[in-house]
Structure 1
């Protein structure tokens, strides 16, 4: 005979489904904007390669400041759901500004500030999801992995749609669609995500990893930063590299990114399953090796088919990094889901600082192909960090 508690547990969990939809919509918003941003700045704003790189660097710096401020607040007091709702609305405003404004400095200082709040919704959503999984007794690794797979699913269709909208209907339409995605996300957050009130913590101590894990957390942060920097270089450089040096069609960039995102989904799910049997450090090492081989390949191939085949290595690289990296931070910082998730998110932003700076300078003086040599050095640094982490 089935007990009432068992029957209740089998009822559909609307909140869990809402988390998956929100993850997909935030992924769509990002996938519509990030792959085409360098092309937008180059063609619509008429920025030189150095200014394009500076834009990405400034965006990352502002994003770190915003996310750290919100992360410290969210882990101490308030309702994370309300914060996510507000960030989604500010993200929509940022998309509207990009749709109608073409002044480089207005976009850099105002547009990027609003976008930083919009992008902060993502780590806060994962922090809320971890708390929800812990409260409801769900298996946190697979729940987070499936959520992250929704973002990859969004990136399967997002980049091709972004390039189709931008090239076929203009950037105004593309950014308007991104704004719509943020608004839909805000509505779902407001009415369907769970509310978990937090009381103010009477302490001024900085949220950090336990003493025994600080060294490992620092090594993990450096390794993730270098991996995200390589990914940022790829996203910034590849559309311009294809067009200006390989003379390949612009839409191929969207196809490459969409294919990689599609392959990332099974990689993430497999990695989430393997995390039960193997250490997260071993999986992160696998990601580093795959990334190194991927960027070696980029230096040697110059046609569409080999570039498409290389996306298998790119998918292993990003799939494990995005799916396991955040969980690794959370394991090293127990009880600090917001701070750990934001630290992982900030490794992305610091990586974008490196990516924007290097891509702009190297492309300006030595061309787009030379930029990929920087990624090889970064991947070697990543492998060094991953091999130094103590997994005891």
Structure 2
């Protein structure tokens, strides 16, 4: 029998293998002992890191599903306000009520599904349910024009379909939970960049479909993409989360109050995001007198610019902590809305979309990771909390922005958005300073410290 003392087990491809001179007994000892997979070196070249992410198990199927989900949304969402006003004849206030009911349904369904998802032995049935609801929602929007019926479709079917985003990403994170080191977290940011890639082509094709197929054709295409997204997940395992504490994650979660303050900042961000997305097409076409095609081009440009920023975050070897990047994103979003407020032509709109691309790469790409850092070991709960802040922001913004736009005009909405994101930025700054003071006093370490997952890499999250 060969002794392991003084010897190093071979490491190959993240797995522990016996030295060639060891016998079977030596390998049995290795198998019997608990093995901690070493983290892949974060000092490798960006190309090697990206290739390692692409070779992860189920990466292709997950990427295809995420792309189709994003493509479905990118076809329909940019033109939802135009559909409501031009096709269904809704007033700005009625549009706000419709969007608010959508958000209420999304929050309620996503919260309930998240609780089930972290407890069930397989989360796949819930993921498929949300994708089926999304397919049904857009199939119904292709034919329904009655306002009461639209409210039902929005609250029930669109609300449930909105939960597909956190459910698909929590399924992806659980499917990758055996991956060593921080590759799983890098993969999550890479998947988010795939989601952005779908928005590069989706809005432009949506505008083309709108010109030739009308709103019914756009929504039918979106419905089909939801169905295909579900089909590509049939062979991805729906394993439950396995909570572990390793060297790349904090041993304890953030206090509930810290999580609530972070959630409040993201609700304010979600309000501004929802208002801006809803009234941007109406501002471009109604106030500035530009074409609907320009709306699709600008939205696609933003998504195109997001991708290199997100991929840079995946491969960045020595970044600031996640919380610091998120705070910077809040500040940049304030500048984005200030540019829109002052915009008089296409040049300012393009500049605003460049800023928006950086903001979305930071906040949409790292926001999910940020909440997973605050709530280690709870994939669906953390991802759903992040998604629910956006849904709650949309719910609060719907009636508010509708009444505001009806009273003061479309341009003034961006002043309100700038105020909301400015408040979120100040809140994140205050939270960071308070956390720094608590750390000096010996409090629990948070995501801004080197001992946590976030400090190691901007896409690192606790491996729950």
Q: TM-score over 0.5 for the alignment?
A: yes
Q: Deviations over 1:74-104 (max 9, x none)?
A: 1112411121112211211111100011111
CA distance in 2, matches of 1:114, 1:15: 28
Structure-1 residue corresponding to 2:71: 28
1: CA distance between counterparts of 2:369 and 2:171?
Answer: 13
1:357 deviates by 2.0
Q: Deviations over 1:230-264 (max 9, x none)?
A: 11111110111112211111211111111111111
Are the aligned partners of 1:142 and 1:269 in contact in 2 as well (CA < 8 Å)? Answer: no
**Paired residue for 1:241?**
283
Asked if the contact 1:358/1:371 (under 8 Å) is kept, the reply is no
Q: How does 1:100-139 map to 2 (within 5 A)?
A: 100-137=143-180, 139=183
Counterpart in the other structure of 1:253: 295
1:162, CA displacement in angstroms?
1.3
Runs (5+) with no aligned partner, structure 1: 200-208
Partner of 1:86: 129
**RMSD of aligned alpha carbons:** 2.3
For the Cα contact (< 8 Å) 2:333–2:355, is it kept in 1?
yes
Q: Which whole-Å CA distance do the structure 2 matches of 1:5 and 1:269 have between them?
A: 26
- The answer to whether the aligner puts 1:144 opposite 2:200 as a matched pair is no
Which protein is bigger by CA-based radius of gyration?
A: 2
**Which deviates more from structure 2 when the two are superposed, residues 283-292 or residues 106-115?**
106-115
Q: CA deviation at 1:14?
A: 5.3
Give yes or no for contact 1:91–1:117 (8 Å, CA) kept in 2.
yes
Contact 2:200/2:303 (CA < 8 Å) preserved in 1? yes
Aligned-pair CA distance for 1:125 = 1.5
- Equivalence map 1:212-227=2 (5 Å): 212-227=254-269
1:153 aligned onto 2:202: no
> Compared with structure 1, are the counterparts of its residues 120 and 226 closer, same or farther at alpha carbon in structure 2 (3 Å cutoff)?
same
Kindly state the Cα deviation for residue 133 of structure 1 after the two structures are TM-superposed: 2.3
User: Is 1:179 aligned to residue 179 of structure 2?
Assistant: no
**Residues 1:170 and 2:214 aligned together:** yes
The residue matched to 1:271 in structure 2 has which SS? helix
1:224 and 1:7 map into 2 onto residues whose CA distance is: 36
Kindly tell me: are residues 112 and 157 of structure 1, through their superposed partners in 2, closer, same or farther at Cα, counting changes over 3 Å? farther
Change (3 A) 1:247 1:353: same
> Among 94, 99, 111, which residue is 1:56 paired with?
99
- SS in structure 2 opposite 1:194? coil
Q: Does 1:231 align with 2:273?
A: yes
Match of 2:406 in 1: 364
Task: Give the one of 327, 346, 350 matched to 1:304.
Answer: 346
SS at match of 2:96: helix
Question: Retained in 2: the 8 A contact 1:272–1:324?
Answer: no
SS at match of 1:136: coil
Q: Secondary structure at the match of 1:20?
A: helix
- Alpha-carbon distance in structure 2 between the residues aligned to 1:217 and 1:127: 19
* Aligned counterparts of 1:275 and 1:74: Cα–Cα separation in 2: 33
- Whose helix proportion is higher, 1 or 2? 1
3-state SS, counterpart of residue 334 of structure 2: helix
TM-score, length basis structure 1: 0.91
Cα 1:175–1:310 shift into 2, 3 Å:
same
SS state of the match for residue 141, structure 1?
helix
Distance of aligned partners of 1:47 and 1:296 in 2 relative to their CA distance in 1, 3 Å threshold: same
- Note the 1:317-336 alignment, pairs <5 A: 317-336=359-378
Q: Hey, what's the Cα distance between the residues in 2 that align with 1:55 and 1:83?
A: 25
Structure 2 unmatched ranges of 5 or more:
1-9, 17-51, 243-250, 436-447, 450-464
User: 1:96-144: per-residue Cα shift (whole Å, max 9, x none)?
Assistant: 1000111112121134311222221210111122222221326122101
Secondary structure of 1:167's counterpart equals helix
Q: Partners of 2:298 and 2:11 in 1: how far apart?
A: 50
**Deviation per CA, 1:22-56, whole angstroms, max 9, x where unpaired?**
11011011111211000000011100011111111
Is the alpha carbon distance of 1:274 and 1:222 closer, same or farther for their aligned partners in structure 2, counting shifts above 3 Å? farther
Per the normalisation by structure 2, the TM-score is 0.77
> 1:12 & 1:373 partners in 2: Cα distance?
45
Larger RCO of the pair (alpha carbons < 8 Å, separation 6+): 1
Contact persistence 1:79–1:198 (CA under 8 A) = no
Query: Which deviates more, 56-65 or 382-391?
Result: 382-391
Task: Give how far 1:70 is off.
Answer: 0.4
Q: 1:194 to 1:212 in 2, by over 3 A?
A: closer
The 1:159–1:62 alpha-carbon spacing in structure 2 relative to 1, beyond 3 Å, is same
Task: Identify if the C-alpha distance between structure 1 residues 388 and 275 changes in structure 2 by more than 3 Å, giving closer, same or farther.
Answer: farther
- CA–CA separation in structure 2 for the residues paired with 1:173 and 1:297: 34
CA distance in 1, matches of 2:261, 2:391: 16
